[in-house]
């Protein structure tokens, strides 16, 4: 069967090598066409369009489902001998093309390593394998009276390994932290086949925390197989608050003041004018306004105090709207139908998150939105802010539109990205807050990293001498980034 | 009006763009997807595309996915492959994936489109049949049923009566204990019940595997046979569902009252026609998918069990139940995965109580459980 692939490779994996790999994981090996198609993509939005047009991003040669670290190390050994690519795969919910096997090779699906290994209720931590599904893990914790506090919108399809490898951020992150705050210790098989593990202690001053290089590494250094994570008692109390503001700046300021006073609501979301009517069209009052919603949760007494502070600060410039909009958000927060509805109609879209200090926040928002609106064919240019720090905020931009007649979909898509990245760098913001680099952002990484890019390449070259781990992505020693 | 409000954000966005873009956007908005539709297919192409473009927001609850951890067996993964099939590009591995579904509707529980992947795949399977691309092992299931009119052995003897007891293929072939229990209960009530000498399968396997023409022959036959009776009591939730909903949907109306055994038994207890004593055993109830999700029968089983046992609830219960692994003929299509699903569910149930009770012959076999009828028969006073 001949499928057109966007990234072609020579397919170095002959039958002899495949047999060697199959021998390591006899019950977890496939090179069927169905599986190679299913593992040819993640949730990279442009690939949705390609799929409808009969194209696949790339085809891996085979897929393996290991059940332990030793099997992974053995597969990596063969990959090093034969110089074939290894691509770790979690839930395939990444949005940057991170799992696309640009050079073919072996996709290593971690999902059969998904056991909860131990829970220490006294120390509030749990040791778990990296292939565990987010929702199944959170449900397990809830059953035992705890929460991880890491609830990305992709909770349902993603895995712990993917969160760690992309430095993910959950929607409740302002209270519970991002995944790098939640993880205490890691276990991984590195590109040279060695297995490393760090100690699950609250902190240690024992030189550089080398294992943390794997956070955000997107499969270029090794495969994360296990982690020890902080957990929290399941919240006793949950309070919903919403306010309307006349401007985005007022809403941002209210949140900035709340954090400054040491109050960290679990969920804080501020939608710009377009997204306010998009998501809260059921509420008459919202037209032309900015909505702010919050979920405060935890110990009852603490929440009571936090609620008072939050209301006080929001009340200075905003008008209270009650808990209904928050209930609406809770009920629809996993509704992601728009891609299914609009991509077949020919629309191109993506979401782009950036991190910025308070000082530059409004400037970033305006620069990006204005730049997007300057592109012929862009229809939607909007944003919300959903992760907050005393120092700043993450903006989550959405663009959508139709490529002009003389432009193909990918060029149009990249024009939007180029424009946004440019505006971002000019506004002193970081090009990614939590989606990572993958294929889409690779070309801007050097600009973001400066000299650190060289350091990353050296580290990659030292650990991955044969450049087998997710080649063609960031830090590839054979390619200019 | 609500729809207009819902799309106000688009109109707001359009106010910023050039006339040319505005015009094209409206055109695409109205009919842009046309070019991806494939004419003349039984599969619902529009829905399959939508499902395949979703980031798989239901997959964590899909039994075939959870048992295999293979993206090809996740709901959106299967929809993806189904679209590729419908475009005419396929090999056997793609066709096989289209049959790997327990039709448990767990996906539907989480779907904002309210799609059941089983429903979507069923349309595609009709196209597989039309293409003559059905894999041999699946063809064997269908042709065996078409020839013998039952999925296994028939073990019940014919008898005449006012109401019909329809045991179903699985009970007759593999779970006769359920039929015996039902007959014991009928006798204790003094119910004049009939049993067919040659009970035809309800036809669900054919319906499910895409053999609609042949399914209709079964529907016609059964609808004719059922005319004699005022009430039909079924032990199998799937038969109940097929008689109650699929036959009428396909134009085969049944006048008789169709009841699942738990509905019938609950009524008998309520009317004081049977008395059940407590067996003093801890038992956990497993909701069969078809019973809970399609027929919404969740109270009757619990009502009965509260009399008969110390009833325990599993974490995943009622409409959030989990498949036993035998739904959608999976036990025959992929025995290994089917068994894994059963093991996972059994482990979960056993952590609540050593004895499992259910209300479906397939679940009973998969989970090594009691059927409620058996419990009621044991506790008859
Ligand atoms: C609808 C939707 C909503 C989303 N919402 C959020 C959100 O709220 N917050 C957020 O942060 N992200 C979000 N994302 C993005 C995505 O879900 C995250 O990046 C997630 O962390 C990816 O996890 P995954 O298991 O699916 O990884 P994959 O997509 O399988 O992989 C992502 C990258 O990590 C690598 N990788 C995967 N597992 C391992 C491992 N064990 N060891 C080493 N490398 C590995 C892969 O090679 C790849 O480069 C969303 C995506 C979608 C589609």
Which pLDDT tens digit goes with each residue over A58-116? Answer: 999 999 999 999 999 999 999 999 999 999 999 999 999 999 999 999 999 999 999 99
Beta-carbon neighbour count of residue B91 at 10 Å? Answer: 13
Q: Report yes or no: A26 at the B interface, CB cutoff 8 Å.
A: no
pLDDT at B8: 85
* A32 closest CB neighbour out of B6, B50, B93: B93
Nearest-Cα distance to chain B for A212, in Å, is: 27
The percentage of chain B sitting over the pLDDT mark of 70, rounded to a whole number, equals 99
Q: Which of A459, A434, A454, A479 shows the shortest CA–CA distance to A96? A: A434
- Which CATH architecture group holds B17-134? Orthogonal Bundle (1.10)
From A44, A158, A226, give the residue whose CB has the most ligand 1 atoms within 8 Å, as the site to mutate: A158
Q: Is the CB of B55 under 6 A from ligand 1?
A: yes
Q: Do B96 and A381 touch (CB under 8 A)?
A: no
- Residues of B with Cβ-Cβ distance to A30 under 8 angstroms: 70
**Residue A338 touches chain B, beta carbons under 8 Å:** no
User: In chain A, which residue's Cα lies nearest the Cα of B68?
Assistant: A112
Residue of A nearest to B71 (CA): A38
Residue of A88, A129, A167, A460 with the most ligand 1 atoms within 8 Å of its CB, for mutation: A88
Tokens encoding A174: 């302002």
How confident is the model at residue A11, as a pLDDT? 75
pLDDT in the model for residue A465:
96
Q: Cα distance from B108 to chain A (closest Cα, Å)?
A: 13
Please tell me the predicted confidence (pLDDT) of residue A219: 98
Determine the residue of chain B that is closest to A333 in CA distance: B112
In angstroms, the CA A142 to CA B312 distance is 19
Q: Does residue B290 surpass a pLDDT of 60?
A: yes
Looking at residue B159, what DSSP letter applies? B
Among B6, B10, B13, most A C-beta atoms within 10 A, so best to mutate, is B13
Angle, nearest 10°, between helix axes A409-426 and A358-373?
150
pLDDT at B2 over 80: no
Tell me the C-alpha distance between A194 and A210, whole Å. Answer: 14
Of B36, B69, B93, the CB nearest to A34: B93
| Among the listed residues B80, B84, B36, the one whose alpha carbon sits nearest the alpha carbon of residue A343 | B36
The answer to whether B49 faces chain A, any CB pair under 8 Å, is yes
Q: Is there a contact between B9 and A114 if contact means CB atoms under 8 Å apart?
A: no
> Closest Cα of chain B to A424: distance in Å?
22
Q: In what order do the strands lie in the sheet with B355-358?
A: B310-312, B282-285, B355-358, B370-371
Q: Is B81 on the interface with A (CB under 8 A)?
A: yes
Residues of A within 8 A of B10 (CB-CB) are 379-380
Please report, in tens digits, the pLDDT of each residue of chain A (481 residues total).
568 999 988 778 999 999 999 999 999 999 999 999 999 999 999 999 999 999 999 999 999 999 999 999 999 999 999 999 999 999 999 999 999 999 999 999 999 999 999 999 999 999 999 999 999 999 999 999 999 999 999 999 999 999 999 999 999 999 999 999 999 999 999 999 999 999 999 999 999 999 999 999 999 999 999 999 999 999 999 999 999 999 999 999 999 999 999 999 999 999 999 999 999 999 999 999 999 999 999 999 999 999 999 999 999 999 999 999 999 999 999 999 999 999 999 999 999 999 999 999 999 999 999 999 999 999 999 999 999 999 999 999 999 999 999 999 999 999 999 999 999 999 999 999 999 999 999 999 999 999 999 999 999 999 999 999 999 999 987 776 5
Is A37 within 8 Å of chain B by CB?
yes
- pTM as predicted: 0.97
A364 at B interface, C-beta within 8 A? no
Task: Tell me the C-alpha distance between A328 and A287, whole Å.
Answer: 17
User: Which of B13, B56, B69 shows the shortest C-beta gap to A65?
Assistant: B69
Identify the helix (H) or strand (E) that includes residue B125: helix B117-130
Q: Residue B251, Cβ neighbours under 10 Å: how many?
A: 10
Of the candidates B55, B66, B89, which has its C-beta nearest A43's C-beta?
B55
Per-residue pLDDT, B381: 87
**pLDDT at position A318, please?**
98
- Residues B307-314, mean pLDDT to the nearest whole number: 96
Q: Where are the domains of chain B?
A: 17-134, 163-268, 276-378
A131 and B CB contact within 8 Å: yes
Closest CA to A244 of A280, A278, A220: A280
Q: Hey, which residues does A348 pair with through a beta bridge?
A: A401
- Exposure string for B44-77, b = 16+ CB within 10 A, e = fewer: bbebbbbbbbbbbbbbbbbbbbbbbbbbbbbbbb
Is B60 in Cβ contact with A340 (below 8 Å)?
no
Q: Is B57 on the interface with A (CB under 8 A)?
A: yes
Q: What is the pLDDT of residues A399-457, one digit of tens each?
A: 999 999 999 999 999 999 999 999 999 999 999 999 999 999 999 999 999 999 999 99
pLDDT band, residue B10 (cuts 50/70/90): confident
Taking chain A, what is the end-to-end CA distance rounded to the nearest angstrom?
33
A435 lines ligand 1 (CB under 6 A): yes
Neighboring chain A residues of B90 at a CB cutoff of 8 Å: 1
To test the pocket of ligand 1, the residue of A76, A85, A154 to mutate (highest count of ligand atoms within 8 Å of its CB) is: A154
Taking each helix axis from N to C end, the angle separating A409-426 and A442-449, rounded to the nearest 10 degrees, works out to: 10
Pocket of ligand 1 contains residue A434 by CB under 6 Å: yes
> Chain B within 8 Å of A162 (Cβ-Cβ)?
no
Shortest Cα–Cα distance, A192 to chain B (Å): 26
DSSP three-state, residue A267: strand
Instruction: Name the minimum distance, in Å, from the CA of A8 to any CA of chain B.
Output: 19
Residue B127, pLDDT above cutoff 60: yes
* The predicted structure's pLDDT at residue A470: 98
Closest CB to B112 among A54, A91, A337? A337
Length of chain B: 381
- Count Cβ–Cβ pairs < 8 Å, chain A vs chain B: 160
Does residue B1 carry a pLDDT above 80? Answer: no
Q: Is A471 in the pocket of ligand 1 (CB under 6 A)?
A: no
Running DSSP on this structure, what letter comes out for residue A234? P
CA of A90 to the centre of ligand 1 (A): 7
Calculate the dihedral angle through the C-alpha atoms of B370, B375, B377, B381, rounding to the nearest 10 degrees.
Answer: 170
pLDDT > 90: what percent of chain B? 95
- Is residue A294 within 8 A of residue A241, CB to CB? The reply is yes
B:294-323 residues touching chain A, CB 8 A cutoff: 315
Q: A351: helix, coil or strand?
A: strand
Is the confidence at residue B12, as pLDDT, over 90?
Answer: no
Residue of B nearest to A340 (CA): B50
pLDDT score for A311: 98
Question: In this complex, is the C-beta atom of B14 within 8 Å of any C-beta atom belonging to chain A?
Answer: yes
A288 close contact with B: CB closer than 8 A:
no
Selected residue of B29, B46, B57 to mutate for chain A interface (largest A Cβ count, 10 A): B57
Strand order in the sheet with B257-260: B193-194, B163-166, B231-234, B257-260
pLDDT tens track for B183-221 = 999 999 999 999 999 999 999 999 999 999 999 999 999
């Amino acid at each position: 069967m001949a499928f057109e692939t966007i990234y072609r490779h020579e397919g170095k994996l002959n039958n002899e090598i495949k047999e060697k790999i199959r021998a390591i994981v006899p019950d977890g090996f496939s090179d069927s066409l169905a599986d190679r198609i299913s593992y040819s993509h993640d949730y990279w939005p442009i690939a949705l369009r390609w799929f409808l047009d009969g194209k696949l991003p790339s085809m891996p040669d085979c897929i393996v489902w290991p059940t332990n670290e030793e099997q992974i190390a053995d597969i990596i050994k063969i990959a090093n001998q034969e110089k074939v690519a290894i691509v770790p795969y979690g839930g395939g919910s990444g949005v940057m093309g991170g799992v696309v096997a640009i050079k073919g090779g072996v996709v290593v699906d971690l999902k059969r390593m998904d056991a909860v290994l131990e829970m220490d209720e006294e120390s509030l931590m749990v040791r778990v394998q990296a292939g565990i599904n987010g929702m199944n893990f959170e449900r397990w914790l809830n059953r035992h009276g705890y929460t991880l506090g890491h609830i990305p919108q992709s909770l349902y399809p993603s895995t712990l390994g993917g969160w760690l490898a992309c430095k993910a951020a959950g929607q409740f992150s302002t209270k519970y932290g991002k995944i790098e705050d939640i993880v205490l210790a890691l276990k991984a098989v590195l590109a040279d086949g060695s297995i490393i593990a760090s100690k699950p202690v609250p902190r240690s001053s024992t030189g550089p925390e080398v294992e943390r290089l794997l956070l955000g590494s997107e499969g270029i250094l090794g495969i994360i197989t296990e982690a020890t994570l902080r957990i929290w008692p399941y919240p006793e109390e949950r309070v919903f608050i919403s306010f309307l503001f006349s401007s985005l700046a007022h809403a941002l300021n209210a949140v900035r003041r709340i954090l400054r006073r040491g109050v960290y609501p679990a969920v804080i979301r501020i939608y710009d004018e377009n997204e306010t009517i998009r998501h809260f069209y059921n509420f008459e009052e919202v037209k032309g306004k900015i909505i702010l919603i919050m979920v405060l949760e935890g110990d009852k007494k603490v929440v009571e105090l936090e609620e008072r502070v939050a209301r006080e600060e929001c009340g200075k410039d905003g008008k209270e709207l009650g808990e209904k909009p928050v209930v609406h958000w809770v009920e629809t927060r996993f509704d992601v139908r728009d891609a299914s509805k609009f991509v077949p109609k020919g629309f191109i879209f993506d979401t782009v998150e950036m991190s910025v200090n308070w000082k530059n926040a409004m400037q970033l928002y305006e620069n990006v939105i204005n730049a997007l609106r300057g592109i012929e064919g862009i229809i939607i240019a909007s944003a919300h802010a959903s992760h907050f720090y005393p120092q700043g905020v993450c903006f989550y931009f959405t663009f959508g539109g139709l490529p002009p007649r003389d432009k193909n979909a990918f060029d149009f898509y990249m024009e939007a990205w180029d424009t946004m990245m440019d505006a971002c760098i000019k506004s002193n913001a970081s090009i990614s807050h939590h989606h990572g680099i993958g294929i889409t952002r690779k070309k801007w990484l050097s600009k973001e990293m400066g000299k650190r890019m060289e350091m990353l390449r050296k580290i990659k070259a030292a650990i991955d001498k044969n450049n087998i781990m997710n080649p063609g992505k960031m830090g590839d020693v054979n390619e200019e980034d | 009006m609500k729809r207009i409000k819902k799309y106000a954000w688009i109109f707001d966005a359009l106010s910023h763009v050039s006339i040319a873009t505005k015009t094209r956007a409206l055109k695409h908005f109205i009919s842009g997807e046309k070019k991806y539709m494939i004419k003349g297919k039984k599969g619902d192409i529009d829905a399959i595309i939508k499902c395949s473009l979703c980031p798989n927001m239901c997959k964590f609850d899909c039994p075939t996915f959870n048992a295999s951890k293979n993206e090809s067996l996740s709901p959106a993964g299967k929809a993806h492959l189904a679209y590729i099939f419908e475009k005419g590009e396929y090999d056997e591995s793609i066709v096989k994936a289209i049959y790997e579904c327990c039709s448990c509707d767990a996906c539907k529980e989480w779907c904002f489109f309210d799609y059941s992947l089983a429903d979507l795949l069923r349309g595609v399977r009709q196209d597989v049949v039309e293409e003559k691309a059905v894999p041999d092992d699946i063809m064997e299931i269908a042709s065996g049923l078409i020839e013998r009119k039952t999925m296994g052995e028939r073990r019940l003897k014919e008898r005449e009566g006012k109401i019909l007891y329809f045991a179903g293929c699985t009970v007759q072939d593999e779970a006769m204990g359920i039929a015996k229990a039902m007959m014991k209960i009928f006798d204790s009530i003094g119910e004049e019940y009939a049993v067919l000498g040659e009970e035809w399968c309800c036809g669900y396997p054919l319906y499910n595997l895409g053999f609609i023409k042949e399914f209709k022959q079964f529907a016609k036959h059964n609808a004719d046979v059922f005319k004699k009776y005022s009430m039909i009591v079924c032990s199998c939730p799937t038969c109940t569902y097929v008689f109650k909903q699929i036959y009428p949907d396909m134009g085969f109306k049944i006048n008789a009252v169709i009841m699942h055994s738990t509905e019938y038994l609950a009524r008998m207890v309520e009317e004081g026609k049977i008395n059940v004593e407590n067996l003093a055993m801890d038992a956990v109830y497993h909701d069969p998918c078809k019973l809970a999700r399609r027929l919404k029968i969740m109270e009757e089983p619990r009502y009965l069990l509260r009399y008969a046992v110390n009833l325990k609830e599993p974490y995943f219960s009622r409409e959030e139940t989990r498949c036993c692994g035998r739904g959608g003929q999976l036990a025959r299509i992929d025995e290994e995965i089917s068994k894994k699903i059963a093991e996972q569910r059994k482990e979960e149930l056993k952590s609540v109580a050593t004895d499992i009770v259910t209300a479906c012959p397939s679940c009973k076999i998969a989970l090594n459980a009691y059927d409620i009828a058996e419990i009621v028969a044991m506790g008859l006073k």
